[in-house]
Chains A and B, each alone.
Chain A
Amino acid sequence: MKGLLQFSTWMYRKLLFLYPQDLRREFGSEIVLAFAADLEESGLLRVWRCALRELVTVALPGQASNPFFLSPALAFLATALTESAFVLVGIHQLPHLSPAEIVSMWLAALSASSLDACVALVVTCFYSRCSINVLRLD
């Protein structure tokens, strides 16, 4: 059980990169301390449920102005939605697909979404390094 709690704390520490940088820098170690203490007192399920809820309610809104987070996230979401629609239509049109084929279709959709997120991140990094004068045509 102790190993599981330590693993949970390690995983939560890794997830902190999703939170705004100023919050991590100022309170990162104390956030992890509070998480670890709560884990021992309140139990794994309750604490993780709260932590996952906070990813949506605290981490994502906090990153709304960070282009390095926002552009890959939007690219991932847009591709995932489009690809999911194709997969659902495929499943509807081809009712005799095996479970393995359906799983591979979802995996392909996930890979495409991840690839798009990576491309969006690279493009954002590239443009953030370019001076605005370099991009001007006149």
Chain B
Amino acid sequence: MEPLAPAAFFILFALASGDKHGYAIMQEARKLSDNGVQIGPATLYTTIQRLLESDRIREVPGPEGGDTRRRYYRLTSAGKASLNSEIARMEALVKKSKGLRLRPAEGS
């Protein structure tokens, strides 16, 4: 499986904690990356469009009393698989970096 682009990764990551509309995904992505990743509105919806086309996310009805102007999105099983595979890839990279002593080991 090909590595995910940062925007796609953080959108899937943000949706892992539950259904969200676009702006909530933007806020969650910022929180998850400690403000390190800035996903603007156009990047967000371009990526959402691609993720919908590749069936990694799907549109779902919003919650009772939710904002009717906004659409809500949910992670699909294909999306979860992509996210898990990306996290596994990152873990493998961190493991390799530890082996090469590129960063100090924890506690030292």
Contact = CB atoms under 8 A, between A and B. Distances in A.
Interface residues on B, range: 10 to 19
Interface string B15-36: 0000001110011000000000
Contacts of B46: 23, 58, 62
B49 A31 contact: no
B42 A59 contact: yes
A33 B23 contact: yes
A100 interface: no
A58 B43 contact: yes
Interface of B: 21-23, 26-27, 38, 40-46, 48-49, 69-71
Contacts of A31: 41-42, 44-45
Contacts of B21: 30
B48 A34 contact: no
Contacts of B40: 38, 47, 50-51, 53-54, 58
Given A23-B45, A27-B48, A50-B40, 20 more contacts: A19-B42, A23-B42, A23-B49, A26-B45, A27-B45, A27-B49, A30-B45, A30-B70, A33-B22, A33-B70, A34-B22, A34-B23, A34-B44, A35-B41, A38-B26, A47-B40, A54-B40, A54-B43, A58-B46, A59-B42
Interface residues of A, number: 24
Nearest to A26: B49
A33 B49 contact: no
A58 B42 contact: yes
Interface of A: 19, 22-23, 26-27, 29-35, 37-38, 41, 47, 50-51, 53-54, 57-59, 62
Given A27-B45, A38-B23, A57-B43, A50 B69 contact: no
A30 B38 contact: no
A15 to B, nearest CB: 10
Nearest to A27: B45
Contacts of B42: 19, 23, 31, 51, 54, 58-59
